[in-house]
Amino acid sequence: MAKAFASQGDMTEKKITFDEVGRDLWAFTAEGDPNSGVIIGDDSVMIVEAQATPRLANKVIEKVREVTDKPISHIVMTHYHAVRVLGASAYGADQVIMSDVARAMVVERGQEDWDSEFQRFPRLFEGHESIPGLTWPTTTFSDSMTVYLGNRRVDIKHIGRAHTAGDAVIHVPDENVMFTGDIVEDHSACYCGDGHFNDWGGTLDNILAYDVDAIAPGRGGALMGRDAVNSAIASTRDFVNSTYAPAARVAARGGSLKEAWDAVRAACDPKFADYAIYEHCLPFNVARAYDEARGIDTPRIWTAERDIEMWNALQA
């Protein structure tokens, strides 16, 4: 490669924050690294997103133990990506929940995604030797399911394609708080390499319709209050649209992937260059936008080999 992927040299430890976003609802965040959520019920705890390795999952568990000694009974994965799911074994939960589409994506591309992400962003796989293998759900759902943690109701729903085809959101009605996974980000680039640009805006509209009081996003800080929620949804929408539109114009005239890269950079750099993981996401985002604009509905599987091929094309 002409030069390394943006995140291959990123070994800086991130500051962890643990914010209560509603009564007994917590957001574990780390300066643009993958977030996790904590939902404390009457007798047990649900974790949203497992982290990439058991060692990193233990950092979430340490924070949980600062606020409750209740057992962790459920893990919900909002999608299939390795950085979200491979730490699941650390929690000892009886139930691991994904959408049925997310499970199908583990079958189709889970190992390839693991290999690819490990190469791209080694810091997020601290303690990778402790990963026992791919994470498989014990329970899946098509459109929605409800879990009761005692009297606390937790609704888990697929409300549209966005970051992946199988995205789930988790809504806790008694506090009107939502955990959105990577459908919504806050001052962090959206990773769109497995995304659906033309569906993403409608899925954001579906989140807006809940009129929630707080969101724990996929990356970035906890969003407290309607103004913060609406601002993050708007900036996420702008990021997705600003990435797709220039790439689509290039594709429509038969231009190259490299031309799409230049066009997206011209549109996005002035607005988003200071966002967390912006440089990391950009090549994958451009490649997917260019594909979707040329009529490829199902994102092509990323492999370590394809990553390098794509990166060399963009650096030529």
- Residue 281, amino acid: C
CB distance 163 to 79 below 8 Å: yes
Residue by residue, pLDDT tens for the chain (316 residues) are 346 655 555 557 778 999 999 999 999 998 889 999 999 999 999 999 999 999 999 999 999 999 999 999 999 999 999 999 999 999 999 999 999 999 999 999 999 999 998 988 787 888 899 999 999 999 999 999 999 999 999 999 999 999 999 999 999 999 999 999 999 999 999 999 999 999 999 999 999 999 999 999 999 999 999 999 999 999 999 999 999 999 999 999 999 999 999 999 999 999 999 999 999 999 999 999 999 999 999 999 999 889 888 888 887 7
Phi then psi for residue 183, to 5 deg, are -65, -35
CB distance 153 to 172 below 8 Å: yes
Query: Angle at CA 271, nearest 5°, toward 269 and 277?
Result: 65
pLDDT of residue 126: 82
Query: Angle at CA 301, nearest 5°, toward 296 and 304?
Result: 140
Question: Helix, strand or coil for residue 140?
Answer: strand
pLDDT of residue 308: 86
Cα distances (angstroms) measured from residue 90 to each of 24, 55, 273, 277? 21, 8, 35, 26
- Look at the pTM and tell me if it is higher than 0.75: yes
Which pLDDT tens digit goes with each residue over 72-96?
999 999 999 999 999 999 999 999 9
**Among candidates 78, 81, 79, 74, which has minimal Cα distance to 96?**
74
pLDDT of residue 178: 98
Q: How far apart are CA 151 and CA 43, in angstroms?
A: 9
Q: How far apart are CA 283 and CA 292, in angstroms?
A: 14
Expressed in angstroms, the distance from the first to the final Cα of the chain is 10
Tokens of 255: 């231009």
Q: How far apart are CA 97 and CA 60, in angstroms?
A: 18
Question: Helix, strand or coil for residue 224?
Answer: strand
